[in-house]
Amino acid sequence: MPRITATWITLLLLLTTALPAGATPTDPISRAYAPYAELLADFLHEKNLPINGLVSAFDYDDALAHEATDERLERQRELLKDFDTDTLDTREKAIAFWLNAYNFFMIAHILEERPNGKLVDSVWDYGGRVNPFRENVFERELFEIGGRKYSLDDIEKGILLGDDFRDKGWKEARVHFAVNCASVGCPPLRRQLFTPDNVDTLMTENTRRAFNTPRQLDIDGNTLHLSRLFDWYESHFVNEAGSVRDFIREYADEEVISAMQGTTRIRHINYDWALNKPGNFSEFN
């Protein structure tokens, strides 16, 4: 029987504890995002709503107080710096990888860049709307993957919703319900990593559950109130499904579809850009 050394024990512990539940050491996406999975497991809170809606909040204060957070952030950045994106050779691998990348870097930036040592109240505090003389957080090329620097816009609009994915048939309007901009108005961030095995199921679930959440979709008499996502990215939903309503019908529960039939006009819900921490959600208070 081979001798089990302390080094081997350490390696075994890393493999069994750094991966999310259900993942295996051979799953390259889960391995690439093991530190991020630890952050989600410890600090991301999900709240189920009565009609199968969902909201989630990230506890940035608890994360900052935790002794392991800095090490996890650094370890995750190092894994992504060395990641070979040429290995993302299937639709499922590519979409899962880049969704995780966007969501991790959004959280990491908030934790690491704190003006005057304090968390921002909104992602717009970094620049853009509040300070037009600074690039907003979505435009900054700060995030290194495979030796190249990306911005959040590069990842979302240039890759996930970009021309190359479109030409490959990989472009997905459900992406809008999977990327999370660290704001109360966003569709929920999930405690699960996106993996090649779950990416379609999880995107569909997030889309459907968003439609059961009044912050994303609400019906009042003959008016269908929708997230601003359907205003800003209307062409994505139209190109994929034929119309905004047809996109909703494709993924919504039957109760939503039935209620929507009686509506004759669409209005868009004001987007809440407050930071997605528990104290900013009525559902967590």
Each residue of 161-180: pLDDT tens digit?
999 999 999 999 999 999 99
Counting Cβ atoms within 10 Å, is residue 201 exposed (0-12), middle (13-18) or buried (19+)? exposed
Q: Would you say residue 150 lies in a domain?
A: yes
Count of domains observed in the chain:
1
Closest CA to 219 of 183, 180, 174, 252: 252
Q: Which residue has the tokens 């994915």?
A: 165
- Asked if pLDDT for residue 78 goes beyond 80, the answer is yes
| pLDDT for residue 135 | 78
Helix axes 69-81, 34-43, angle to 10 degrees: 150
Closest CA to 181 of 105, 120, 95, 280: 105
Q: Would you say residue 81 lies in a domain?
A: yes
Q: Which residue has the tokens 């559902």?
A: 283
- Asked if pLDDT for residue 11 goes beyond 50, the answer is no
Q: Would you say residue 89 lies in a domain?
A: yes
Q: Would you say residue 236 lies in a domain?
A: no
C-alpha 4, offset from chain centre: 40
Whole-angstrom Cα distance, residue 98 to residue 88? Answer: 10
Q: Would you say residue 185 lies in a domain?
A: yes
Q: Would you say residue 247 lies in a domain?
A: no
Phi-psi region of 145 (alpha: psi -120 to 50; beta: other; left: phi over 0): beta
Quickly state the pLDDT bin for 26 (edges 50, 70, 90): low
- Asked if pLDDT for residue 210 goes beyond 70, the answer is yes
Percent of all residues in the chain with a pLDDT value above 90, rounded to a whole number: 86
Cα 96-14-144 angle, rounded to 5 deg: 45
pLDDT in tens, 225-276: 999 999 999 999 999 999 999 999 999 999 999 999 999 999 999 999 999 9
Q: Would you say residue 3 lies in a domain?
A: no
| Bridge partners for 220 per DSSP | 223
Percent of all residues in the chain with a pLDDT value above 70, rounded to a whole number: 89
| pLDDT for residue 128 | 76
Q: Which domain holds residue 105?
A: 26-215+271-284
| pLDDT for residue 131 | 60
Mean pLDDT of the chain: 90
Tokens, residue 167: 């030409």
| pLDDT for residue 239 | 96
What contacts 24+ positions apart, CB below 8 Å, involve 21-30?
Answer: 23/193, 23/195, 27/195, 27/196, 27/197, 28/87, 28/93, 29/93, 29/96, 29/97, 29/100, 29/193, 29/194, 29/195, 29/196, 30/193, 30/195
Q: Where are the alpha helices (DSSP H) in the chain?
A: 6-17, 28-32, 34-43, 60-65, 69-81, 91-112, 152-153, 163-168, 199-210, 229-232, 234-241, 244-251, 254-260
Q: Would you say residue 263 lies in a domain?
A: no
For the beta carbon of residue 33, count every other beta carbon within 10 angstroms: 30
pLDDT in tens, 104-149: 999 999 999 999 999 999 999 998 765 655 678 999 999 999 999 9
